[in-house]
Chains A and B, each alone.
Chain A
């Protein structure tokens, strides 16, 4: 419930902040009732408007690599964060959380957060993600 409330609030605040982005809702594409957690490595970043895209390679037990395509927010949202393509592409293993696509597209989602083994994290999902900095509960 809190996630839904946050999503609504984020929507309202985004409408305040950025009208060109604000028209289509995250919920028009992604299932905010479900959060997937994945472990892998960022393999590609498209630093474009209206959303950056992060490609995330996930290896299963058999060694097969699946690349997730993860939508995020506009580049300008990260102004002042220090986040760059180079930082995302530094080869570190990361744990990410994301909302999966509603249309059934495999391996496509809305990126909420990247967390690294040394404890640092990039909470890109902002208000759509739990606000205390901890990874969302995948069961929710």
Chain B
């Protein structure tokens, strides 16, 4: 526990460093994952501090326009040295924000999902052995909800497409509006599940079922059952989206688990990720890993 706390402290200190990097290098944002919480989203938001006060655009059918790139991988780790050389500077000392300097973005820890007491040992075992047990380390898709909020949304009146460029590969979801879940009881569950959406006023509500239990809810052993039911809510406010994800799995959780994010419209394109190739599996000699701040 102390180790986790100390890592968390360093990670939070890193936000000050990130703020400085952002000012100097323009951009520093990161992976769409429920690991380190709001951090990267806060950094993206800090690039456009007045985004929420912009007018909220609507499409022809009157609904808010959710299209756009809302999150992408970071850059800004590179420190150029002369014309041809560079150093990746993520491992340098972590300065704290100086008085009068840019404020450190806020990182609010996510709540932990509350497992049934008898399942705590399983979470710990999976966490302790995550080098082997975490399928994303071996290039398997994180799936919903671990994949995180959509990085890009393409919206039509009849369907939305959520796009994700992830270290594990390029993933997508096609989500019909006012559609129905598959009625085929023999249809196999999938990593991103069976998603349908409807508008609740200005909020898009996405209902996800038929999720495989091969995935986790998040990092560090947060397993779930095949009975997992996910509801995402997206509400555009200016050039931001208020996003929430609620995972309900009464088989393993005491109560539904909700995560929230503020997404900020980004001007960048969502670049294709190179393929993921698991070259490491045979070379681990122990279970050493990094705990993520939560």
A interface residues (Cβ-Cβ under 8 A, vs B): 6-7, 9-25, 27-29, 46-51, 53, 71, 73-83, 101-103, 105, 108, 119-129, 131, 133
How far, in Å, is A138 (CB) from chain B's closest CB? 20
How far, in Å, is B224 (CB) from chain A's closest CB? 18
Checking A15, A28, A77, A131 against B293 with a beta-carbon cut-off of 8 angstroms, the contacting residue is: A15
User: What's the Cα separation between A119 and B85 when bound, in Å?
Assistant: 9
How far, in Å, is B277 (CB) from chain A's closest CB? 4
Determine if B11 and A16 form an interchain contact, defined as CB atoms under 8 angstroms apart: yes
How far, in Å, is B7 (CB) from chain A's closest CB? 5
Determine if A51 and B290 form an interchain contact, defined as CB atoms under 8 angstroms apart: no
Q: Nearest CB to that of B148 among chain A residues?
A: A19
Q: Nearest CB to that of B91 among chain A residues?
A: A127
> Does residue B242 face the partner (Cβ distance < 8 Å to A)?
no
CB-CB < 8 A to A51: which residues of B? 279-280
**How would residues 160 to 178 of chain B score, 1 for a CB under 8 Å from any chain A CB and 0 otherwise?**
0000001111000000000
**How would residues 267 to 284 of chain B score, 1 for a CB under 8 Å from any chain A CB and 0 otherwise?**
000000111110110111
Known: A9-B94, A123-B88. A24 touches B276 (CB 8 A): no
User: What's the Cα separation between A77 and B88 when bound, in Å?
Assistant: 8
Checking B18, B88, B285 against A126 with a beta-carbon cut-off of 8 angstroms, the contacting residue is: B88
How far, in Å, is B9 (CB) from chain A's closest CB? 9
User: What's the Cα separation between A127 and B92 when bound, in Å?
Assistant: 5
Determine if B82 and A120 form an interchain contact, defined as CB atoms under 8 angstroms apart: yes
Interface residues of B in 71-92 (CB under 8 A from A): 73-78, 80-92
| 27 contacting pairs across A/B (C-beta < 8 A) | A9-B92, A14-B290, A15-B7, A15-B35, A15-B292, A16-B11, A16-B14, A16-B293, A17-B30, A19-B35, A19-B36, A20-B137, A23-B134, A24-B131, A29-B283, A47-B274, A49-B274, A49-B275, A50-B167, A51-B279, A53-B279, A79-B78, A80-B25, A83-B86, A126-B91, A128-B91, A131-B92
> Does residue B53 face the partner (Cβ distance < 8 Å to A)?
no
Known: A28-B286, A28-B287. A23 touches B87 (CB 8 A): no
Known: A23-B219, A29-B285, A50-B276. A123 touches B11 (CB 8 A): no
Determine if A103 and B283 form an interchain contact, defined as CB atoms under 8 angstroms apart: yes
Checking A71, A79, A129 against B280 with a beta-carbon cut-off of 8 angstroms, the contacting residue is: A71
User: What's the Cα separation between A17 and B137 when bound, in Å?
Assistant: 16
How far, in Å, is B147 (CB) from chain A's closest CB? 10
Known: A50-B139, A127-B90. A133 touches B81 (CB 8 A): yes
How far, in Å, is B226 (CB) from chain A's closest CB? 23
Checking B36, B88, B134, B167 against A15 with a beta-carbon cut-off of 8 angstroms, the contacting residue is: B36
How far, in Å, is B132 (CB) from chain A's closest CB? 9
User: What's the Cα separation between A32 and B31 when bound, in Å?
Assistant: 26
Checking B86, B91, B167 against A20 with a beta-carbon cut-off of 8 angstroms, the contacting residue is: B167
CB-CB < 8 A to B139: which residues of A? 49-50
